[in-house]
Structure 1
C-alpha cells in the first residue's frame, strides 16, 4: 500500500494518490495530471478511481483530464448535478487491494462536500487510519463558508456538525489529509505543516476550541476575498473542464509580433520576472505577477478572452508559468518574448522602469512628515494587525475597481505589501491605469520588522 501527497505551489493545493495490489485512486487531481500517472507507473498500478471532495472554486479540477488518460471512473457527491462522473452517497465503499475507501458526507464549505475515510482491510474493515477531509477541516483551521451569503448561519452550522459529529468522533489517532495547505485562499489560519491527526486538531486547532454558537459567529464574521475567476471555476468544475490532452508549449515570439499584437490590444502581456527585474525595465502596459504568485493572482486581473504573452528570464519559467495558468483555466497562450526584455531594449522600443525605495527612506519620510502617499495593498486582516501611519489600504486584488480611493494630490505614490511582491503587481496596474509617480517599496513590512518602523495598531 502506498500514499503520496502532491503539492501544487501557489494555490497551496494538496492532492493525493493511494493504491494497493495494482489499483490506485487519485483524490482532487490538478489539471496537469502527468504526475499521477508517473507515480502509478512507479508502483506498478493502474489508476482506476478518481474522487472529488467538492466542486472546487480556486482551480480547475483535473478529473476529466486524468480519466481521459487512464480510463478511471470519476466520483463526486450526489448533491450537485455534475455533468460528468458518478454520484456517491454516505457509506459508499470502494476496494483497492487492502485499501477501503468509504464516503462520508461533510457539508458546510459547500453543500456537496464529502470526506473519504481510509481503512486497511488487513487490520480492520471499520476503524479508519486516515481521512481525506477536502475543504471541511484543515490543519489549524476549517473551511470557509462564505459561498452562500444568503445562508451564513445555516452553512456554518452544517460545517460544525460535519466536524464535531462526523469527523472528530472517528478517533484521535486518525491522520487527516486536507485539500489545501498554508497560503490557500480557502483558510486564513492553515498551519505550515501538512500532517496532523484528528486528536491533535481537537486539542490545538483554535477554531475547534469554540462551542457551537461561537463557531457559527466566527464563521459568519470571517472576511474572505473572492477573486472574479471563482465563478468561472465553479461553472467549469460542474460541467467538466475542457480536455488539454497535452500541456501547451508556447513558441518564442519576436519583438515585432509582440509589439503589433499588444498594441492592437489583441494580447495581454504578463511579466513573471522578479520584482527587481520588472522595476529595472518593463514593457509599457504589461502586468507584472511574479512567477510564484501567478496561481493566486492571475485570476484577479487577466481576461479569459485574450491570449497571454509571457515575459520571462528563461525558458524554464515558461513551462512553470504554463502549468500555473492552465490550472486556473488560461489555455490560450500566445507565446513568450524571445530573449526577453533585452531583445525589446535593443530594438529601440520604449521601455519604462519603476523607482524603488528601501525601508530606511520610508522611515525618514515619515519622521520628517514629507508629503507622499503610502498605499498598503495587503489584506484587510494584515492591515488591521499593524500598519504605517496615514497609509491607505486597498487590497491588491481589488485595486482596479478602487482607483478612486487613492489620493491624487500627494506625490510620489509609494506602494508596499509584506515583501514587495504584491506591491509589484499593484505598481504595474497603477502604471497601466495612468498613474505617473509610482514607487515600489521593496522589502516592505518585512524590512520594517528588520530595522523598525512606526507601527499603528
Structure 2
C-alpha cells in the first residue's frame, strides 16, 4: 500500500494518490491531472477511482478531466447531485482497491454532501481517513459556505458538523492517521495548523472542536465565531465543480499565446480584459503598464486573484516573468479563471523598449515614514487582516484589509498624500496597483511593511489598543 499526499502550498490544498496491487485511487485532484497519470504509469498501475470529498469552493478539481482520460468513475458521497455521470456512494459503501478498502462515511456540515473516506488496510484495520473539509488539523470546516444551496443557516450546518464528528470520526481509534483537505492559509477554516498530517488521537487532544466534553451549543458558537466573509469567487468554483468545465489543455492553448506589444494593447482595448502583472513587486514598482493590476506569482497568487478579480469569466491578459507563462495560466485555472487571452511577449521590457507609456509606484522606506509622522499626524492605511492589525499596528492607522479594499475606496484621501503598508510589501503592492487602476495616485507604499515599521520609533498600538513605542 502506498499513500502519497500531494500538497500545493499556494492553495494550502492536499490531494492524495493511493495505490495497492496495481490499482490507484485519487482523492480531490488538482486541475492539471497529468502528474497523477504519469505516476500511475511509472508504477505500472491504473487509476481505478476518483474520490471527491465534496463540491470544492476554493479550487477547481481535476475530477472530470481525469475521468475522461482514464475511464475511472468520479465518486461523491450521499446527497451529491452533479451535472454529469458519477457514482453517488451510500453511507458506509465500500470500494475495493487492490488489497485495501475505502469506505465512504457521510459527514455533512461543511456541505451537505461532505464525505470522509476511511481507508482499511489489507487486514481490515482502520488505517487512515481522508477528511476533506470536515476535519482539519487544529480546526474543522467552516459551516457557512453551503447555506444557500442547503437552505439552512450556518448554525444548522454547524450542528450537523458536530454530529458528523461525534458519530463518525471521533469513535475511530486514536492511531488512525488524518489526511485533511487543507492546511494553514486556506479560507475554508480559521485556525489550521501548519502540519499537514497527524493522528486522530492527537487531534482529540489539541483540536478545540473535538473536546470530549463540548456540548452541541458550545460547538456551534465556537465554530461560527469570527468567520470572515468567504472570497467572492467561491460560488463560481462550486458551480464549475458541480456542472463541468473545459479541459486544462484547452485553457492553456488559449491563454499561453504570445502577443507583441501592439497586439497586446489592441486586445486589451477590444476585450476590456484585466491586465494582470505577476512579476515581483519590486519590478512592478519600477515600471508597469498603466492601470494594470499586480498579483505576484511568487506569493499567495491564486487565492488573491480569486478574491480580487472576483468574476471568473473576466478576460485576462498577462505580464509574466519570461518562461513562466504556462505556470501562470495553470495556476489561474486552478481557481476557475479560464478566460486568459494571452501574454505580453518579451514581458514588460518589450513594452518599455517600444517607448510606450508606463507608470511607477511611489515608495518610501519605513525610516522616512517615521520622520514624516514625527512632523505631524499623517494618514496611514493598513491593508493586513484584522487579526494582524489587532496584534499590533501604527497608532491611528486605518484598517482597510486587502480582501475588501474595493469596499474602502471612498475612505482614501482625494488630494492629501497618504501611506499604505502590509506585513512585508507583497499585499500593499497589490493594494497600490488597485488604487492606481481606480485613478488614485496620491500615496506612497511603505517598503518592508510592518516588519520594517516596527524597527523604527513610530508609536505602535498593541493588542487591546495600548499605545507603545517599538
Band of TM-score, shorter chain: over 0.9
Kindly state the Cα deviation for residue 388 of structure 1 after the two structures are TM-superposed: 1.5
Instruction: State the distance in 2 between where 1:129 and 1:396 align.
Output: 42
Stretch deviating more after TM superposition (102-111 or 434-443): 434-443
Does residue 253 of structure 2 align to residue 255 of structure 1? no
Instruction: State the distance in 2 between where 1:450 and 1:12 align.
Output: 31
Residue of structure 1 in register with 2:235 after alignment? 231
Residue of structure 2 in register with 1:322 after alignment? 329
Residue of structure 1 aligned with 2:214, choices 189, 211, 214: 211
Aligned pairs, how many? Answer: 451
Q: CA RMSD in A?
A: 1.9
8 Å Cα contact 2:251/2:338 also seen in 1? no
Residue of structure 1 in register with 2:450 after alignment? 445
Residue of structure 1 in register with 2:63 after alignment? 63
Residues 179-219 of structure 1: per-residue CA shift (max 9 Å, x gap): 11121111222111111111111111234347123221112
Residue of structure 2 in register with 1:157 after alignment? 159
Residues 1-48 of structure 1: per-residue CA shift (max 9 Å, x gap): 111111223211110010111110000111111111122122211001
Kindly state the Cα deviation for residue 263 of structure 1 after the two structures are TM-superposed: 3.2
Stretch deviating more after TM superposition (161-170 or 201-210): 201-210
Residue of structure 2 aligned with 1:134, choices 111, 132, 135: 132
Matches within 5 A, 1:181-200: 181-200=183-202
8 Å Cα contact 1:91/1:103 also seen in 2? yes
8 Å Cα contact 1:61/1:241 also seen in 2? no
Kindly state the Cα deviation for residue 229 of structure 1 after the two structures are TM-superposed: 1.3
8 Å Cα contact 2:5/2:14 also seen in 1? yes
8 Å Cα contact 1:108/1:157 also seen in 2? yes
8 Å Cα contact 1:392/1:406 also seen in 2? no
Kindly state the Cα deviation for residue 157 of structure 1 after the two structures are TM-superposed: 1.5
Stretch deviating more after TM superposition (171-180 or 328-337): 328-337
Residue of structure 1 in register with 2:204 after alignment? 202
Does residue 315 of structure 2 align to residue 312 of structure 1? no
Instruction: State the distance in 1 between where 2:374 and 2:317 align.
Output: 43
Residue of structure 2 aligned with 1:378, choices 374, 378, 384: 384
Stretch deviating more after TM superposition (323-332 or 297-306): 297-306
Can you give the 5+ residue segments of structure 2 that lack an aligned partner in the other structure? 464-470
Instruction: State the distance in 2 between where 1:169 and 1:451 align.
Output: 53
Residue of structure 1 aligned with 2:404, choices 385, 398, 401: 398
Counterparts in 2 of 1:139 and 1:450: CA distance versus 1, 3 Å: farther
8 Å Cα contact 1:62/1:241 also seen in 2? no
- Secondary structure in 2 aligned to 1:323? helix
Counterparts in 2 of 1:436 and 1:165: CA distance versus 1, 3 Å: same
Stretch deviating more after TM superposition (10-19 or 155-164): 155-164
Residue of structure 2 in register with 1:270 after alignment? 276
Kindly state the Cα deviation for residue 245 of structure 1 after the two structures are TM-superposed: 4.4
- Secondary structure in 2 aligned to 1:232? helix
Does residue 358 of structure 2 align to residue 351 of structure 1? yes
8 Å Cα contact 1:354/1:439 also seen in 2? yes
Instruction: State the distance in 2 between where 1:370 and 1:353 align.
Output: 26
Instruction: State the distance in 2 between where 1:452 and 1:94 align.
Output: 63
The list of structure 1 runs, each at least 4 consecutive aligned residues, that deviate by more than 4 angstroms after superposition, is: 449-453
Instruction: State the distance in 2 between where 1:308 and 1:144 align.
Output: 31
Residue of structure 2 in register with 1:48 after alignment? 48
Instruction: State the distance in 1 between where 2:70 and 2:454 align.
Output: 50
Residue of structure 2 aligned with 1:342, choices 322, 345, 349: 349
Kindly state the Cα deviation for residue 306 of structure 1 after the two structures are TM-superposed: 4.1
8 Å Cα contact 1:325/1:331 also seen in 2? yes
Instruction: State the distance in 2 between where 1:413 and 1:197 align.
Output: 49
Residues 290-316 of structure 1: per-residue CA shift (max 9 Å, x gap): 11332111123334444321111211x
Stretch deviating more after TM superposition (8-17 or 47-56): 8-17
- Secondary structure in 2 aligned to 1:170? coil
Does residue 19 of structure 2 align to residue 19 of structure 1? yes
8 Å Cα contact 1:134/1:178 also seen in 2? yes
Counterparts in 2 of 1:265 and 1:3: CA distance versus 1, 3 Å: same
Counterparts in 2 of 1:146 and 1:367: CA distance versus 1, 3 Å: farther
Counterparts in 2 of 1:172 and 1:353: CA distance versus 1, 3 Å: same
Residue of structure 2 in register with 1:431 after alignment? 436
Instruction: State the distance in 1 between where 2:177 and 2:272 align.
Output: 50
Residue of structure 2 in register with 1:412 after alignment? 417
Residue of structure 1 aligned with 2:368, choices 361, 367, 373: 361
Instruction: State the distance in 1 between where 2:340 and 2:413 align.
Output: 36
Instruction: State the distance in 1 between where 2:314 and 2:76 align.
Output: 32
Instruction: State the distance in 1 between where 2:300 and 2:159 align.
Output: 33
Kindly state the Cα deviation for residue 347 of structure 1 after the two structures are TM-superposed: 1.0
Residues 258-306 of structure 1: per-residue CA shift (max 9 Å, x gap): 1222234532211001111100101001010011332111123334444
Residue of structure 2 in register with 1:143 after alignment? 141
**TM-score, length-normalised on structure 2?**
0.91
